[in-house]
Structure 1
């Protein structure tokens, strides 16, 4: 049931909606989404919608995950920072495409659950930490790409600073009205592109340990 659902998801939600990068499509097809959602929601794992994963957080709809991944312009040598580990689904897909994935989760219980899940599933190139995503992961910067899975009111300067030359930041920005944007670092300047209107949970500023 899940396998057929995943095949249908790839055809109807990924390819038919314009995702063209064959490596992104392959990565999404290799990560079973039902393993990253609560047991009671597994029957909905391949629906075209976000799903709750606890702690007032969600797993993004499959198309958005694929679109953000494709927009980051990754390859097998990329080192990527993800802000907002959540259940670990986006990190798992990134791990299929990249050399190293660094992922930060502000909610300790959610981050710990994701760490256990990803280890159990055998992902070895994902490095997790609990912390404030606004600060990034400076000791492991610069990154080829940074993907943010929650929406701040403004783009954190620390994340721009942690991009390497030519690096891309994919981030939803705004409160009630949000826009997914791509920021590319070009020498001492940045190039900003509006990609699409979106709706993400707010980006929390301080680590929550309970």
Structure 2
């Protein structure tokens, strides 16, 4: 029986981590864990409660008490619940996207979320994606991938996703927002976005999704 490993996929916003991680998990029969969805769910709840994003104690308390569930569905995409409410679609809004990095930079929030994520990954057989999986959440993951692409490519892909949901966005503005978020994620004091020393660095600007998935699956075979 093959050992079930932990696969960590990190990278900046819009690199395609969620789609790739979901497809890799499906092919391996693993659980897919979208940590970004957890931070988005928390951000959405903070917005609903009208919390001040400079009020760190209130946000840390929310991270400690909010019931966040990321549940698998038949097609492999996660269903996200906050305190029993389905927020799968609302957490992908531009409003949440603009605020999530502010919340994610708070040390106490990150501590609470990392603990949750480690519990979810206990026992292996998971593909977990986010910003600090290989460096902080699962530093001992058997396979680490750092997935990136140029800001323009990421903005174009993200705009297409939003358009499919009926949201019209300006690609140039979206590229500016993505670049700004990159700076915030890479520059935060706690758990900044960066490749783990032992991560495989993969620029997918000129690759399609299937090519990226096959690349990671080949690497996973080498681990087992």
**TM value normalised by structure 1:** 0.30
Higher helix share: 2
Larger radius of gyration: 2
Higher strand share: 1
The structure, 1 or 2, with the larger RCO (C-alpha pairs under 8 Å, 6+ apart) is 2
**TM value normalised by structure 2:** 0.29
